[in-house]
Structure 1
Amino acid sequence: MTVRALEGTAPEEAYAGPPPTVRPAADQPVPGPPRQEAPAEQPEPAPPTPYLLAMRTVGWAWWRPVAGFALIAFLLAVGFVLTRIADLLTGTGADLDPVPLTWRGLLVTGLLLALALPAVLLAWPLVHGVGPGRGLSVAGRLRWPLLGRSTVLALATVGVAVALGVAGAVLLAGREVPGPVPELPWVLVVGLLTAPLRAAGEELLFRGYLSQAVAGWIGRPRVGAAVAALVSAVLWAALYGTDDLAGFVGRVALGLAASAVVLLTGGIEAAVALHAVCGVVVLVLGAVLGEGAVPGLVPGGPGAVFVLVAALGLAAFVGLVARRGTRS
């Protein structure tokens, strides 16, 4: 291409911006920004299944609790036979009667009742096909902070009430104080070691598996909880005998309070703490002052007054647990 041809080419025009737009008519709608659709609302999470109805969520069948009780009874029967053999060979005197307080009797009896703990934990996977956590709490595990806090509350309420009841029985009613039991240090050591295990086993069996089975059979939360509380309290109290009416009523009251805190917290932690504190306080007072000084160990004397004072402590404990709930 020649230079002349290049000179004849029109020069490029400079950019003058976008072309002007026409003003829309008065009756013509002006398009706005694209409308954004509101995000879809997330459904609220379903509330957790109540603790007492846990069996209803894992392939419920009426016969499963029956099979579970059969397994638990078999394991406890094996432990009972071993206890009888140990009693015959060593003369430990191991039975559910708390008197006399001996470290050998406390050891064998405490371990026998503590056997309910692994028995119930085995019943869940073998009979219900799930882990044992459902028998502990709605969280599927043992909530240690709640257990520790409940122990402090139980000591400040029920522990103090039981001590005041014993003091009133000794000072105001002239109840006999025989003095420390033989082998006091060993009795205290063995008692303090086995009492919490014994309480955990009994609560897991009565306020845990038994209450969950009764509530599962009924299927209605409120009615099931009420019936389960009454059944578990009466059966547990009857386990220790019905000869002493005041002692029987006191144990029923303790069982009802334990069922109340199970319902409030959705687990057995507060019930275990309550049971363990009552057992330890009665044990220590009975070992130091003598079995005859504690109405909870030996019938007779101001048993009704002792039960009344202890009931006030139980009511205070339940009230504090209801106020704080499951907060750590």
Structure 2
Amino acid sequence: MTGPGSEEPYGGPPETRRPAPYPWQPHPWQPSVWQPPVWAPPPLPPGMRWAPPPGTPPHDVPQPFLLAMRSRDWAWWRPAVGLLLFAVVYAVAVVVSLLFGVVGLLAKGTRGDVDVSDPGILLLTNVATIVAIPVVWMVWAVAHGMRIGWSSSVLARLRWRMLPTFTGLALVALGPVICLALLPVLLDADVVEPVAGLGWFLAVVLLTTPLQSAAEEYLFRGYLSQAVAGWIRAPAAGALVAALVTATVFSLLHLPPDLPTFVTRFAVGLAASAVVWLTGGLEAAIVLHAVNNVLVLGLFGVLGGGGPTEAATEAASWTEVALMTVALSAYALLVARARTTLRPEMRTAALDLRTRRPWGGATPARSVG
């Protein structure tokens, strides 16, 4: 029993206090708008830094394919280092592949002039180009610290589901024009004769030429275009300049013998850049390049006409330039119309880590030592 004036210690739950009002502050770009303060992570011990969890998108805002290189770790020097690294590593890879190929051809007894109508020579030249694919992937990983799939599309992978549709569109657009360009060969009965070893030749064309075409697209549209667009940053201007630069370099590296041939290959480069911009990835450009090369090489292998080597160095006519321009334009238009059914992804996934708050979860620390 307790009487008046007696004191008994309180044994209930601890006392609580009303929390202090949340310290809202003006928005940095809109002073009239108030917002909760931006959460800042606590200081870390020396040699540690905050990093996003594995699987976090590398972009704070969605980016088009040509700006996928501009991740949150972007720096202007990364593409320069990447191009230099590619040049060095690819040169070594080509020398090694050519050495192995030449040794194999000598053991086989191949002699004489270099002629890609020979299956062994064609295989050697294709392999020397195909090695560019792993080199481009290596550059993305080493110079940019990003997944190799960012060289393929905005999903950081090749979208295989689109390849059959683009292949059909490329055959419809390019097939008639290429056959029409070979009409003089068909009319000359003296040269309509298959190349020697036609079976092996066609096997090499079908199995390695698509990869050779893909390698050129990974280099020109999967890396060089992104490097140029990343330096310019403005999406429209970057896409235009990247298309012009890569089409020019693409044509010059194919050693065109005359102006019409240069213009034809320049148009191929522009068309490839256009369908990359239309679809958010390399798939349509790879198919365009591969279908063109396979048709040309395959038909010359069957018809003869001096073989692919002579065809590659023969001067083109302005009529062929006009026909090819029409075919490339038709392919780009067909790809643009196909977007309504294919629904290609056009922007990268993103997660803005610049305004993280406590209830959104903190990023873990990792050692940088």
Q: Which residue of 2 aligns with 1:25?
A: none
Q: Does the CA contact (< 8 Å) of 1:154 and 1:277 recur in 2?
A: yes
Shift of 1:253: 0.7
Post-superposition offset of 1:246: 2.4
Normalised by the length of structure 1, the TM-score is 0.78
Is the counterpart of residue 110 in structure 1 residue 126 in structure 2?
yes
**What is the rounded CA distance, in whole Å, between the counterparts of 1:170 and 1:208 in structure 2?**
36
The offset of 1:198, in angstroms, is 0.5
Question: Distance in 1 between the 2:327 and 2:269 partners?
Answer: 14
2:86–2:135 CA contact under 8 A, matched in 1: yes
Identity of aligned residues (%): 46
> Residue 305 of structure 1: which of 319, 328, 336 is its match?
319
Which residue number in structure 1 is paired with residue 145 of structure 2?
A: 129
Name the CA distance, whole Å, in 1 between partners of 2:234 and 2:87: 27
Once residues 61 and 263 of structure 1 are traced to their aligned partners in structure 2, the CA distance between those partners, rounded to angstroms, is: 23
Give the Cα separation in 1 of the matches to 2:322 and 2:177: 9
Gaps in structure 1 of 5+ consecutive residues: 1-45
Deviations 1:234-254 (A, max 9, x none): 111111103233222211111
Taking the aligned partners of 1:150 and 1:296, their CA distance within structure 2 comes to: 26
Distance in 2 (CA, whole Å) between partners of 1:58 and 1:108 is 40
Structure with bigger gyration radius:
1
Matches within 5 A, 1:199-218: 199-218=213-232
Q: Which residue of 1 aligns with 2:117?
A: 101
Cα distance in 2 between the residues matched to 1:251 and 1:83: 26
- Whether the 8 Å contact between 1:196 and 1:276 is mirrored in structure 2 is yes
What TM-score, normalized to structure 2?
Answer: 0.69
| Alpha-carbon separation, structure 2, partners of 1:148 and 1:48 | 28
Deviation at 1:219, TM superposition (A): 0.9
CA distance in 2, matches of 1:57, 1:93: 51
Distance 1:80 1:259 in 2: 26
Task: State yes or no: 1:143 paired with 2:159.
Answer: yes
Q: Where in structure 2 are the equivalents of 1:141-180 lying within 5 Å?
A: 141-167=157-183, 169-170=184-185, 177-180=191-194
Is 1:65 the counterpart of 2:101? The answer is no
Residue 289 of structure 1 and its aligned partner are, at CA, apart by 1.0
> Is residue 2:282 matched to residue 1:268?
yes
**Residue aligning to 2:205:** 191
Residue 182 of structure 2: SS of its match in structure 1?
Answer: helix
Higher relative contact order (CA 8 A, sep 6+): 2
CA contact (8 A) 2:174 2:292 kept: yes
* CA shift for structure 1 position 220: 1.0
Q: Is the 8 A contact 1:166 1:306 kept in 2?
A: no
Matches within 5 A, 1:32-111: 48-86=62-100, 88-89=102-103, 90-91=105-106, 99-111=115-127
Distance 1:241 1:218 in 2: 28
Kindly tell me the number of residue pairs found equivalent between the two proteins: 278
The alpha-carbon deviation at position 304 of structure 1 amounts to 2.4
Give the whole-Å Cα distance in 1 for the aligned partners of 2:76 and 2:333: 35
Counterpart amino acid of residue 170 in structure 1:
V
> Which residue number corresponds to residue 47 of structure 2?
none
Relative distance call for 1:171 and 1:289 in structure 2 (3 A) is closer
